[in-house]
Amino acid sequence: MPHQFIIVTKQDGYTLIQLNRPEVLNALNIKLMEELVDTLELLEKDDEVRCVILAGNEKAFAAGADIKEMADASAIDMLMRDQFARWDKIRKFKKPIIAAVSGFALGGGCELMMSCDMVIASETAKFGQPEINIGVMPGAGGTQRLTRAVGKVKAMEMVMTGRMIAAEEALRWGLINKVVPVEYYLEEAKAWAKEIASKPPVAIRLAKEAVLKALDTTIEGGLEFERKNFYLLFASEDQKEGMNAFAEKRKAEWKGK
Ligand code: HXC
């Protein structure tokens, strides 16, 4: 089905999703989020897709939720729209997602980026939670994911001042993985996606699940969870193949099972 607000390009091993509302800096309206989540649901079922890149354009990853769409909503309208159910689906997506960020990643845009597993940014990227300036606060995970990523005092700074931080600062704070010149940010994300797509998918899936578990459990519970996933991988053909290939000094051929 053709999309109105995203562009989906399937590459060898991974799929690139580009947010495409350039006239409003990729503001995340309900339709865009619907298209994004519906696409992820399809990609989840497609064995050829082993990694996803989520990008905007050079000027904006996304400048937040669509302010004009929600300006007149009542609390009950917001409740009944239940837009965060869609965000929960992104959180539960089982394959790796790399955010490729250039320009603005603000409000819901920054939160969407933080819902991804890794972030490649251009030198021009700017990150912020400016909701305070329009009389609200982050609502799609910002207070939680930002605090876990950068710690309490920096999260407070961003959420309470609404100030933007530049790419280099975001890198120092541990919010993103890598900063590259703007002309390379998408290429760099593609190189990461290709590398991850070449790994054994079952191990990638269980590893993602275990790392995410660390964000909402105790060390004891997390270590137990990790151990079970580790044991489970010994039921995969890829574990036998990977270890035998190592011993036989050859390249492993993954089956994804
Ligand atoms: C709707 C938006 C928008 C947004 C920009 N636009 N951000 N429309 N929602 N979040 C529109 C502008 O209205 C304008 O449309 C066009 O995009 C270009 O934006 P300008 O403001 O003219 O560009 P510039 O001067 O370069 O300033 C860029 C900017 C500014 C600093 C990013 O646009 C800005 O502050 N945007 C809002 C950022 C924000 O507050 N985000 C948080 C939203 S709340 P016209 O028609 O005038 O050309 C949120 C809550 C999430 O995200 C909760 C979970 C869903």
Per-residue pLDDT reduced to its tens digit, 92-144:
999 999 999 999 999 999 999 999 999 999 999 999 999 999 999 999 999 99
Round to whole Å and give the CA distance between 109 and 125: 12
Other C-beta atoms lying within 10 Å of the C-beta of residue 8: 17
Report, as an integer, the average pLDDT of 55-62: 98
Q: Which residues line ligand 1 (CB under 6 A)?
A: 24-25, 27, 63-68, 83, 104, 106-108, 130-131, 134, 139-140
DSSP notation for 11-51:
-SSEEEEEE--GGGTT-B-HHHHHHHHHHHHHHHH-TT--E
What's residue 253's pLDDT?
97
Across the chain, mean pLDDT equals 97
In this structure, is residue 120 part of a structural domain? yes
Within this chain, do residues 104 and 77 fall inside the same structural domain, yes or no?
yes
Asked whether the predicted pLDDT for residue 3 surpasses 80, the reply is yes
Among 35, 99, 100, 111, the active-site one is 111
Round to whole Å and give the CA distance between 140 and 33: 12
Asked whether the predicted pLDDT for residue 63 surpasses 90, the reply is yes
What's residue 2's pLDDT?
85
What's residue 252's pLDDT?
97
In this structure, is residue 257 part of a structural domain? no
Within this chain, do residues 10 and 133 fall inside the same structural domain, yes or no?
yes
Question: pLDDT grade, residue 228 (50/70/90)?
Answer: very high
The closest alpha carbon to 27, from 66, 84, 57, belongs to 66
For 128, phi then psi, to 5°, come to -170, 160
What's residue 47's pLDDT?
95
Name which residue sits closest to atom 17 of ligand 1, judged by CA: 24
In this structure, is residue 48 part of a structural domain? yes
Within this chain, do residues 124 and 169 fall inside the same structural domain, yes or no?
yes
Question: pLDDT grade, residue 233 (50/70/90)?
Answer: very high
Within this chain, do residues 170 and 206 fall inside the same structural domain, yes or no?
no
Within this chain, do residues 189 and 215 fall inside the same structural domain, yes or no?
no
Within this chain, do residues 133 and 236 fall inside the same structural domain, yes or no?
no
CATH of the domain at 68: 3.90.226.10
Within this chain, do residues 225 and 132 fall inside the same structural domain, yes or no?
no
In this structure, is residue 88 part of a structural domain? yes
Gap from CA of 28 to ligand 1 centroid (Å): 10
HSE-CB of 59 using CA atoms within 13 angstroms: 8
Q: Is 105 exposed, middle or buried (0-12, 13-18, 19+ CB in 10 A)?
A: buried
Asked whether the predicted pLDDT for residue 71 surpasses 80, the reply is yes
CATH of the domain at 219: 1.10.12.10
Round to whole Å and give the CA distance between 19 and 168: 24
Gap from CA of 137 to ligand 1 centroid (Å): 15
Report the percentage of the chain scoring pLDDT > 90.
Answer: 99
Count of domains for the chain = 2
In this structure, is residue 95 part of a structural domain? yes
234-238 long-range contacts (CB < 8 A, ≥24 apart) are: 236/200, 236/202, 236/203, 238/200, 238/201, 238/202, 238/203
- Structural domain of 38: 6-197
Name which residue sits closest to atom 6 of ligand 1, judged by CA: 24
What's residue 114's pLDDT?
98
* Residue 111 known to be catalytic: yes
In this structure, is residue 22 part of a structural domain? yes
Question: pLDDT grade, residue 22 (50/70/90)?
Answer: very high
Among 55, 62, 65, 140, the active-site one is 65
Asked whether the predicted pLDDT for residue 1 surpasses 80, the reply is no
* Residue 108 known to be catalytic: yes
* Residue 157 known to be catalytic: no
Gap from CA of 150 to ligand 1 centroid (Å): 24
Does the pTM of the predicted model rise above 0.85? yes
Using the 3D structure, point to which of 179, 197, 215 is the last residue of a domain: 197
Give the pLDDT confidence of 157-209 residue by residue, as tens digits: 999 999 999 999 999 999 999 999 999 999 999 999 999 999 999 999 999 99
